[in-house]
Every structure is written in C-alpha cells, then in structure tokens.
C-alpha cells in the first residue's frame, strides 16, 4: 500500500486536484479570478510536490513503472502546465467553463503521466488515449468559433487513425513475440520481417503524435484553430510526453533492433527538419508559424534520439526542458498580442518594440532560444543534441542538421525584424499584461537564460538517467 502511494504519487496528486476542482465546480463555485488563483496555486504545489518522496519501482506486475528519470520528466510536464495556467490568465478569466478546461487538461496530463510510466503496450495504449481525447475537447473550447470545432474534429480524426495503426502494430508484436510487456519484449525481438513491420506501425503512431514528417499534416490546422492555451499545451506538453516515451521505447524495448530504427530515425529527422523549416518560411499566421517551427524542432529531438546513448537521452530531456520555456514564452507573447490585435498575423508585430519593449524582449529571447543562439539555453540544448547525434559519426547527417539551423534562423529573424526594425505608423498600443501572465513570462525568460548557463542542471538530469 505504501509503495502504491509513493510510486504513484504524481498521478494521485493530479487525480486529487481534478476531484477538488470538480467539487468546487459542483458546489457553490467561485468567481473566475479566485478560481484561477486557486488552480495556479494547486498546480504550483503539484510541481513542487514532484521533488519529494520519490522512489523507484514497479506496480501491477510491471504494468506501471517509475524511475528517477521518469519522475523528472513528469516534473517538467507539471512545470509546463503550471506555466500555461499563468500565461493565458487573460483567456481563462474570460472563459465561462474554466474549471472544466483545467479538468480536461489535467486529465490529459494524467494520461501523459501514465504514458511515461507505462511498462506494457496495453497500458501504453490506454494512457495514450487518455492523453489525447481530452485535448480534442479542449481544442473545441472557443465555442463560438468555427475554426475551433474544425480543429477538434481534425484532431480527433487523426488521433483515431493513429490509434488504429498503433493497435495494429501492438497486435502484430503480440503475434510475433507472445508478450506485450516492456520487460520481456527485448528478449523476444530478433528483427524478423513481421517484427520490423510491427515496429514501423508503432513508429507511425508515434510519428503522428510527434508530428514527424510525413505524419505532420494535421499539425498546422489544429494549432491554428485551437485556442492559444491548447495550442501551447499540444506543442509543448503533449509533444514532450510523447518524445519521452518514444525515446524510452526505442532505447529499452527495441534496443535489439537498434540498427533498424537508427536508419528510420535518421531519415525521418532529416525530412522533418527540412519540411518543417521550409514550410515555416512563408507562414503569415503566428500560430501556423510556431506549428511548423515546432515540427522542425522535433527533427532536432530525433537527432538526439538517434544517438542511442545516455548522452542522447539526457540531451533530449534537457532540450525539452528548454523547449518548454522557449516555446511557452513565444506562445505567451503571441497570446497577449492576439488578444489585443484580434488577429494572429505576424504583420501586427511591426513596430512592437516602440510600444511594448517587455513583450518584445521576451519574444526575442524565446525566438533566439528556439533558433539556438547563445547565450540562450536553446544554444546549449541544440548543440548537445547535435553532439550526441554526431557520436555516430555521420558527417552528412550533422551538416544537414547544422544547415537547417540556418534556415530556421532566417524565419525567426523575420519576426525579430518585424518587432525591432520595421517601421509602423500605428503600432499596437501598449498592452496591459495580466500580472500572472507577466510572472509566467518572467519565469520563462529566466529559464531561457539560466538553464543554459548553469551547467549543473544538465548534470542533474544526467545523474537521474
């Protein structure tokens, strides 16, 4: 019993919060402002609780497992959710159904926690569904907007499709090996054609969730249609969680077939980086822009994953931590501006610096971090991913990745140029930022600067691996 409480602590805390919100909602209810404050405090406590009383072990015959690394990954996700609750305060306060929104978001987060902790393909499938379906409901949260419903529809269709493929893959694996347990699978895998087919199906399901090319087509539409809070949740938290479990599956379960998936990862990494970057070049809508840029970022994560080493997994987790700060900062600024301008066009950013220096600097930091420019943390994150990937010794691969950083720099600089250089006779007025959103942006900015320069953070992550 004690084991159960300590090992499943993150999940239990989240479940507790969900029920608490439900009771508050069913009871008298609170004013939106108070409610949001309560939620923010709860999420902060949830994040802090992640650092105490952590143990390693398995439950339910290996269905559920947890290690220090897994706890750390959950903490990163909790941090991201806390930041989301801060950054989009403006939108939350206006929303009629805010408690429901957070209940859905936390359910999805719960699903992701189980996903990361899963030790069996069936558990994995269940958790994946739990982490996806609430997000589709969240995508529909701008109830009066057609685009929002469209996004939810596209999301649910594509995830149903990928779930189907995943189930097919799982059934093939079970047929080929007679087991679905992560612990037993490696001994049964020998690279037979059937197993390779199963790997490909499993891989495609992951590729859908991570929006790896050629399974990325849903991303931009869903990102564009969804409310900004959902978009950022999708692009940061959801992607982070799937990347974690993707890496764990490849490294632990499919280790015997390493030679097979290395080529797969490498080719898809190149395709993802190039396609993501090329599409991002011409986007006018900031959400679509960030969608394609996040596709390209996944390409870089794949470079790190391809290394198949402790250095690789450390740098992926490190990169995702940085990515949480950088991407959320960019979305936070974009949300503040979109609320004021009523549109999400990059042209609205022209001359932003004249009226909103704070937002401009945060946006610049975030974009530089995404582009990998020092001294921001993104520089270190990308560099370590490339270094880990380079250990395999493929020059061409690394040159392509490095040149992709240049392409991405071009479009990030385009936004920087609008903000700092382009003249605009009627720039946006000074935007009044919610105090909590300001706090969120400051945390993000501090994270972007400090996570890179303080090298012990990297060592801490490595010590967990």
Partner 1 sequence: MNLLLLILLPLVTAVAVLLMRNAKQVKAVALAGSAAQFVLAFVLLFGYYKERATGNTAQMLFEQQYNWFPSWNISFHLGVDGISVAMILLTAFVVIAGVLVSWNVTKMTKEFYFLLILLSLGAYGFFISLDLFILFFFLEIAVIPKYLLIGIWGSGKKEYAANKLALMLMAGSALVLVGLLGIYFSTDAHSFDLMQLSQLNIPIQTQMICFPLLFVGFGVFTALFPFHTWVPDGHSAAPTAGSMFLAGISMKLGGYGCLRVATYIMPEGAKEYATIIIVLSVIAILYGAFATMMQKDLKYINAYSSVSHCGFVLLGIGMLTKTSMTGAVMQMVSHGLMTALFFAVIGMIYERTHTRQVSEMGGLLKRMPFIITVLFIVGLCSLGLPGLSGFVAEMTVFMGSWQHPDTFRRVATILACLSIVVTAVYILRAVTKTAMGPLTAGFEELKDASWNEKLAALILIAGIIAIGVAPFWLNDLVSPGAEVIMQKLSR
Binding site for partner 1 (CB under 8 A): 311, 314, 368, 373-375, 379-380, 383-384, 386-387, 390-391, 393, 395, 398-399, 402-403, 405-406, 409-410, 413, 416-417, 420-422, 455, 458-459, 462
Beta carbon of residue 448, minimum distance to partner 1 (angstroms, whole number)? 14
Q: Is the separation of the CB atoms in 54 and 67 below 8 Å?
A: no
Q: Supply the DSSP symbol for 365.
A: H
Q: Is the separation of the CB atoms in 7 and 59 below 8 Å?
A: yes
Residue placing its CB nearer to partner 1 in the complex, 245 or 364: 364
Residue placing its CB nearer to partner 1 in the complex, 169 or 452: 452
Beta carbon of residue 451, minimum distance to partner 1 (angstroms, whole number)? 12
Q: Is the separation of the CB atoms in 149 and 140 below 8 Å?
A: yes
Kindly report whether the peptide bond that precedes residue 375 is cis, defined as omega within 30 degrees of 0.
yes
Give the whole-angstrom CA distance, residue 424 versus residue 205. 45
Beta carbon of residue 107, minimum distance to partner 1 (angstroms, whole number)? 37
Residue placing its CB nearer to partner 1 in the complex, 153 or 413: 413
Beta carbon of residue 317, minimum distance to partner 1 (angstroms, whole number)? 13
Give the whole-angstrom CA distance, residue 81 versus residue 28. 26
Residue placing its CB nearer to partner 1 in the complex, 279 or 379: 379
Residue placing its CB nearer to partner 1 in the complex, 267 or 453: 453
Beta carbon of residue 456, minimum distance to partner 1 (angstroms, whole number)? 9
Q: At what angle do helices 98-117 and 32-49 cross, to 10 degrees?
A: 20
Residue placing its CB nearer to partner 1 in the complex, 285 or 462: 462
Beta carbon of residue 150, minimum distance to partner 1 (angstroms, whole number)? 35
Neighbours of 97 (CB within 10 A): 12
Beta carbon of residue 458, minimum distance to partner 1 (angstroms, whole number)? 6
Residue placing its CB nearer to partner 1 in the complex, 23 or 395: 395
Spell out a b/e string for 273-287, using b for 16 or more CB atoms within 10 Å of the CB, else e.
bbbbbebbeebebbb
- Please provide the distance, in angstroms rounded to a whole number, between the alpha carbons at the two ends of the chain: 27
Beta carbon of residue 374, minimum distance to partner 1 (angstroms, whole number)? 5
Residue placing its CB nearer to partner 1 in the complex, 94 or 417: 417
Q: Is 321 exposed, middle or buried (0-12, 13-18, 19+ CB in 10 A)?
A: buried
Residue placing its CB nearer to partner 1 in the complex, 132 or 326: 326
Spell out a b/e string for 293-303, using b for 16 or more CB atoms within 10 Å of the CB, else e.
bbbbbbbbbbb
State both tokens at 378. 């993104």
Q: Is the separation of the CB atoms in 10 and 241 below 8 Å?
A: no
Place of tokens 């197993």: 195
Place of tokens 């054609």: 193
Beta carbon of residue 406, minimum distance to partner 1 (angstroms, whole number)? 5
């Amino acid at each position: 019993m004690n084991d159960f409480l300590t090992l499943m602590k993150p999940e239990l805390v989240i479940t507790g919060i969900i029920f608490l919100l439900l009771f508050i909602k069913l009871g008298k209810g609170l004013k939106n402002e108070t409610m949001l404050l309560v939620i923010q405090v709860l999420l902060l406590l949830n994040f802090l609780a992640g650092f105490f009383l952590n143990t390693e072990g398995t439950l339910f015959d290996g269905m559920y497992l947890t290690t220090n690394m897994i706890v750390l990954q959950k903490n990163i996700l909790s941090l991201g959710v806390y930041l989301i609750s801060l950054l989009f305060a403006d939108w939350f306060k206006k929303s009629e159904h805010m408690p429901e929104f957070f209940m859905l978001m936390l359910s999805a987060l719960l699903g992701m926690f189980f996903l990361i902790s899963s030790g069996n393909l069936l558990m994995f499938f269940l958790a994946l569904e739990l982490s996806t379906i609430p997000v589709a409901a969240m995508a529909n949260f701008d109830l009066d907007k057609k685009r929002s419903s469209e996004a939810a529809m596209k999301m649910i269709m594509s995830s149903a499709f990928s779930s189907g493929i995943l189930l097919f893959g799982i059934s093939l694996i079970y047929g080929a090996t007679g087991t679905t347990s992560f612990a037993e699978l490696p001994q049964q895998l020998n690279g037979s054609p059937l197993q390779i087919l199963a790997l490909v199906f499993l891989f495609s399901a992951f590729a859908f969730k991570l929006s790896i090319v050629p399974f990325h087509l849903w991303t931009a539409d869903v990102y564009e249609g969804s409310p900004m809070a959902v978009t950022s949740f999708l692009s940061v938290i959801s992607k982070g969680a799937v990347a974690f479990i993707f890496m764990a599956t490849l490294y632990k379960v499919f280790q015997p077939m390493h030679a097979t998936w290395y080529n797969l990862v490498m080719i898809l990494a190149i395709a993802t980086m190039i396609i993501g970057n090329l599409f991002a070049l011409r986007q006018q809508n900031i959400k679509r822009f960030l969608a394609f840029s996040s596709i390209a970022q996944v390409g870089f994560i794949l470079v790190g994953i391809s290394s198949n080493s402790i250095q690789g997994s450390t740098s992926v987790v490190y990169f995702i931590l940085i990515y949480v700060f950088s991407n959320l900062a960019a979305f936070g600024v974009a949300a503040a501006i979109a609320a004021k301008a009523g549109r999400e066009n990059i042209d609205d950013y022209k001359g932003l610096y004249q009226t909103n220096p704070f937002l401009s600097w945060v946006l610049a930091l975030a974009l530089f971090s995404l582009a990998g420019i020092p001294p921001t943390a993104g520089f270190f994150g990308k560099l370590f991913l490339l270094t880990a990937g380079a250990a395999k010794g493929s020059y061409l691969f690394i040159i392509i990745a490095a040149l992709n950083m240049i392409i991405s720099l071009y479009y990030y600089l385009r936004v920087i140029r609008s903000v700092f250089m382009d003249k605009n006779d009627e720039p946006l007025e000074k935007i009044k930022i919610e105090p909590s959103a300001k706090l969120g942006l400051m945390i993000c900015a501090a994270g972007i600067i400090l996570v890179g320069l303080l090298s012990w953070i990297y060592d801490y992550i490595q010590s967990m691996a």
